[in-house]
Amino acid sequence: MGTRRNFIEKLTVASVGVPLVYNPSTLFAATGEHYDGPVLRVAIMGLGSYGTRVAKAMVSCKRARLVGLISGTPAKVVKWRAQYNIPEKNCYNYQNFDQLKDNPDIDAVYVITPNGLHCEQSIRVARAGKHVICEKPMGINAAEGQKMVDACKAAGVKLLIGYRMHFEPKTVAVIKMRQEGVFGQLKFFQGQSGFVIGNPNQWRLNKKLSGGGAMMDIGIYSINGARYMLGEEPVWVTAQETKTDPVKFKEGIDETIQFQMGFPSGAVASCLSTYAMNHLDRFFLNGSEGFAEMQPSTGYGPIEGRTHKGKLTQPHITHQTLQMDGMAKIIFEDIQPIVPVDGEEGVKDMKIIDAIFLAVKTGKKVML
């Protein structure tokens, strides 16, 4: 394992009018400190738009470095090798990446391929003895997710899911306020996640590759957000689907789903997942003593928000930089983020998605 160049950043996080102490060193490499420890050496599998975003963000990481590539497109590999100085011996395609087992220069693989490929590819990475970082959703259903968890445990490697928001400073600040009781008894959460999807021929609208439509892509943010904002696991769901364009959104590809969740405390969530409307990236949390509102709530940033105490003023840092440094701390030091990003966390979301699809199909409340 190598070390990174040293650099200093100034990071201050406001406490939004309450005595909260947010220590970034519990999430990622402490900015403003000399770091000369182990570096997580990562290969990215899937060199598409999001893989590109992750790679660019990793340039600023202190604890993680891009050292390998896995792609089915040779031209992309050539371009990325030149851009990121990747040695040829660390480059693979989708047929031969099992050979990772013989490469001691790679510690982990970040799987950023279509959802329907995650399970098989993640299991192959695990069997090659490498830690798995898998983009969300981790699979196309909970059964796949559990297979991934079991395979990684059997192989003795970690399975982490790409929940970047669990490292985002404003999100973390609101979660800490909730934990400290600043909002009182929580009553209600609203999550709105959506955008108008473009190219009708893309993999996200292919059932085999995506596992579904908007819910698998953007709706999962409201599911996960409801869980970390309320701090509970839902016990039931109801859901209703609206489809205005059955040509574009074929059978098994949801266009818009409204869904509701009930929690043990009595709190409820009302959420919207859609591929048919823009300007939908909003979380609202209501409690007996206050509220939190975030809009945008899960976009690439900057996140904006306020509570009854005032505006959230934590700085914007590239989400994927925080995420990858945070995941290095998990792997090397077992220092966990405020909300888990492990495979079990991913399975919880998949079980809820399964239940939402069942509720749409049956028109009935589904107990979890």
Positions marked catalytic: 136, 221
DSSP annotation of 354 reads H
What is each CA distance from 196 to 168, 216, 259, in whole angstroms?
25, 15, 19
Closest CA to 186 of 239, 282, 294, 264: 264
Sign of CA dihedral 230, 231, 236, 240: positive
Can you read off the two tokens belonging to residue 122?
A: 């993640």
- Please report where in the chains the tokens 């590809």 appear, as a residue: 253
- Please report where in the chains the tokens 């199909």 appear, as a residue: 361
Sign of CA dihedral 101, 105, 111, 113: negative
Got the DSSP string for 185-199? SEEEEEEEEE-----
**Residue 9 contacts residue 316 (beta carbons within 8 Å):** no
Q: How far apart are CA 149 and CA 146, in angstroms?
A: 5
Q: How far apart are CA 354 and CA 281, in angstroms?
A: 22
Closest CA to 193 of 115, 298, 294: 298
| Residue 287 β-bridge partners | 186
**Residue 134 contacts residue 111 (beta carbons within 8 Å):** yes
